[in-house]
Structure 1
């Protein structure tokens, strides 16, 4: 998947500046796609040159003017075309932590436990952010009410997947830490 597809998905929420996209990427598509602000700005420039997004300048007092981007009709058509394509094979896991865990028996076990503990804390914080986003999206409604009445349900469905992913990370971290501690105690 190209970054442009994730940018277009984020712009379905409405007009946004590059800064807003970079900041909001964390809340909208970061559970399935990561990008640096520099990557986002470069992609927005390419997309504008290709007619997929349009930008308008908003003048600001005491701050630099900002450009707000929105999808054009060509951009919406590109989203429709992208959605119609069959997805590629699922991404393979490429996680440096798992390589370190694979080497736990010959490396520093305390360093491996610390790395897993760090991942556990990261996942817990990310899950807490996702929970706040979920509450904001639901806005006092039940999930059934949300699915029945929300204008768009895709962001909520992807959020649920991100939450499941982080819950599984937490479950695995707890399991791995218990096993490593038991093994260390038995030696």
Structure 2
């Protein structure tokens, strides 16, 4: 999948500037499809050239003009075709920490522990951020009410995927630490 479909999906929320899309990516889509602002701006240009989105210029006082982007009918149709097509490949996990854990036997377990604890802190921070996003999306409704009444449920469902992923990653990290503790006590007993 290319960044193209992530940008088109983000524009389902409505018209947005490149800056707004960049911020939107930071708090939602980047959780499962990261992109730099430069990548987003390049992709917006390509999508506009391909007729999948339209851009209009908004004049601003004391600030540079900004371009606002919306999906075209062609863009919606292409996104729909992508969304209903079978997934081509299973998810591939690319995680530098996993390579470091793989090489653990040749490294310092204390350093590995620090790396895992650092990743746990990031997972906890993400879970807190996801919790705030969840509350914002629900807007005082129960999950059942939201899922029954909301115009769009895709953002909520992907958020739930992010929560599940980070929760499971946190559980795995806790298991890694317990294994490291077990091995350290065995070495200490000599």
Pair in the same fold by TM > 0.5:
yes
What SS is found at the alignment partner of 2:155?
Answer: helix
Given that 1:10 and 1:28 are in contact with CA atoms closer than 8 Å, whether structure 2 keeps it comes out as: no
| 2:50 equivalent in structure 1 | 50
Counterpart-to-counterpart distance in 1, 2:28 and 2:38: 18
1:86-112 deviation per Cα after TM superposition (whole angstroms, max 9, x unaligned): 112222211110110011111121111
| 1:95 equivalent in structure 2 | 95
Given that 1:100 and 1:112 are in contact with CA atoms closer than 8 Å, whether structure 2 keeps it comes out as: yes
Structure 2: give runs of 5+ residues left out of the alignment: none
| 1:33 equivalent in structure 2 | 33
- Report the TM-score, using the length of structure 1 for normalisation: 0.96
| 1:148 equivalent in structure 2 | 148
Counterpart-to-counterpart distance in 2, 1:113 and 1:62: 51
The 5-angstrom pairing of residues 14-25 of structure 1 reads: 14-25=14-25
Structure 1: give runs of 5+ residues left out of the alignment: none
Counterpart-to-counterpart distance in 2, 1:136 and 1:61: 32
Following TM superposition, the consecutive aligned residue runs of length 4 or more in structure 1 with deviations greater than 2 angstroms are none
| 2:108 equivalent in structure 1 | 108
| Greater RCO (CA < 8 Å, at least 6 residues apart) | 1
The 5-angstrom pairing of residues 1-187 of structure 1 reads: 1-187=1-187
- Report the TM-score, using the length of structure 2 for normalisation: 0.95
Deviation at 1:185, TM superposition (A): 2.4
Deviation at 1:28, TM superposition (A): 2.4
How many residues end up aligned between the 2 structures?
187
Given that 1:8 and 1:71 are in contact with CA atoms closer than 8 Å, whether structure 2 keeps it comes out as: yes
1:66-96 deviation per Cα after TM superposition (whole angstroms, max 9, x unaligned): 1111101111111111112111222221111
Moved more, 69-78 or 56-65: 56-65
Please report the RMSD computed on the Cα atoms of aligned residues, expressed in angstroms: 1.0
1:18-75 deviation per Cα after TM superposition (whole angstroms, max 9, x unaligned): 1111111122212221111111000000000000011111122222111111101111
